Amino acid sequence: MADLDPQQKIALINENLQEVLRPDIIEDAIVKENRPLVIYWGTATTGKPHCGYFVPMIKIAQFLRAGCRVKILLADIHGFLDNLKAPIELVKFRAEYYKYAIKALLKAVGVSLDKLEFVLGSSYQLTAEYTMDLFRLSSVVTEHDAKKAGAEVVKQVENATLSGLIYPLMQSLDEQFLGVDAQFGGVDQRKIFTLATEVLPKIGYKERAHLMNPMVPGLAGGKMSSSDPDSKIDILDTADLVRKKIRKAYAAAQTLEGNGMISFVEYVLLPVSSLQSSDGSMRFEVEQREGGKEPIVYSDIDTLKEDYKADRLTPQLLKGAVTKGLVDILTPIQAEFRASPEWQEVEKQAYPPAEPAKKKKTPKDKGSRYPGAVKANPDGSVDGPGKETVEVGSSAEEAMGRLEVNGVK
């Protein structure tokens, strides 16, 4: 593909984004200063990366195509701060697993890793300078604002710990220490981005631009989540498991809202085809098996959506095409995993199998007749744990009353 002019670069950077804050910063860097825009994308290293990660990977590929310098932050400390989603003992291994997975995802969509920089959060977040700036930031941010900023990103629990308030402050401060012009993330992070815009100047640092992807619905509708196995497809899921999950996925006929299948075509499969083609054109093919019909080929998402709303494209046809497209992308990733003993070993250390829950032993009610339950004394009285159930009385009259002798009682 030919080199892009400044306006083409800006258009590609903005493609498929839901919102951009301070676009003038982007234009100044590319047009006025005639230099690469420096962007960072961060991910807390918690649950295993899933196919929803293809969405930011596509944008990273487009940023690189637009001549940007891209830094990927493996936010290991953030994973620990987010309600212990990554236990401190596993943080190091999970960061390593993410690096393997993200590299494989990027290579699957045709990104050259030579143009990327990976940064481990703890490599600079534990320095004296960063810690002092974090203290300075905490002196100008209220508890209310910190909690509000992290509301859609940090797991909300009753009687939350302070770590959830530190999380958005660190994400804001990372912009300065990574030396970027802009931060990229999902639209669910908008409140953190807004906080960064407001508070960094208060401690003497400049504002950055913020670029936001829409949130792609999960398989069951709603947000795709690492913690909900029914809402996501893991990048290491087998082809059979992918088919099974997509068959069960939410895709109501003629309904676009909350339809994860259509969103995946729009934000992943069509852009991937563009990156892989020599002329930048898009192509999404839907096979029609009945009656030997020719495949339907879509070169834009609007036509596909129109056909889906008109029921010319049915959920069954769409799911079949998405399954094929996804399996094709995952195949080289899984081949790389199988060929890498190092990656396999890191997976075991990062996500050790949960120990089976131990069954609680409940004391058995052995009744009053097992040996040792009660002890009979020479005078006829009894002792022991079963005493109350076998003792009939301390006198003849009491015993006769309890046993209803002669109909008395």
* Sign of CA pseudo-dihedral 9, 13, 18, 23: negative
In a domain, 218, yes or no: no
Tell me whether residue 394 is in a domain: yes
pLDDT at 302 over 60: yes
174-222 pLDDT tens trace: 999 999 999 999 999 999 999 999 999 999 999 999 999 988 887 655 5
The reported pLDDT for the residue numbered 408 is 47
Residue-wise pLDDT for 111-122, tens only, equals 888 889 999 999
Q: Is residue 37 part of a domain?
A: yes
From 183, 213, 243, the end of a domain falls on: 213
Assign residue 68 the CATH number of its domain: 3.40.50.620
Same domain? For 344 and 377 the reply is no
For residues 112 and 194, state if they share a domain.
Answer: yes
Q: Which three-class secondary structure state does DSSP give residue 116? A: strand
Please check whether residues 12 and 66 belong to one and the same domain: yes
And the tokens for 16? 């498929």
Does 311 fall in a domain?
yes
- CATH number assigned to the domain comprising residue 335: 1.10.240.10
* DSSP track, 221-243: SSB--TT-GGG--BTT--HHHHH
Domain boundary among 213, 248, 278: 213
Enclosing domain of residue 378: 368-398
Last residue of a domain, one of 178, 213, 248: 213
**What's the chain's Rg over C-alpha atoms?**
31
Residues 90 and 19 in one domain: yes
Please report the pLDDT score of residue 220 as a whole number. Answer: 58
Average pLDDT score over the chain: 86
Instruction: Give the global pTM.
Output: 0.80
pLDDT at position 239 = 94
Same domain, yes or no: 31 and 118: yes
CA distance 409 to 405: 8
Helices 54-65 + 6-14 axis angle, to 10: 170
Same structural domain, 300 and 372: no
Q: Are 203 and 119 in a shared domain?
A: yes
The reply to whether 203 and 257 lie within a common domain is no
In the chain, % of residues over pLDDT 70:
81
Flag whether 224 is in a domain: no
How many distinct structural domains can be found in the chain?
A: 3
Q: Residue 258: its pLDDT value, please? A: 87
Give me the pLDDT at residue 89, please: 80
Same structural domain, 258 and 334 = yes
Are 46 and 100 contained in the same domain? yes
> pLDDT at position 2, please?
64
Give the pLDDT mean for 302-330: 95
Quick one: 158 and 28 in the same domain?
Answer: yes
- 221 in any annotated domain: no
- Flag whether 408 is in a domain: no
Examine the domain organization and report whether 198 and 318 are in the same domain.
no
Strand order in the sheet with 38-44: 19-21, 209-213, 182-186, 38-44, 69-75, 116-120
Q: Is 403 domain-assigned? A: no
| Ramachandran assignment for 320, one of left (phi > 0), alpha (psi -120 to 50 degrees), beta (any other) | alpha
What is the pLDDT confidence band of residue 228, given thresholds at 50, 70 and 90? low
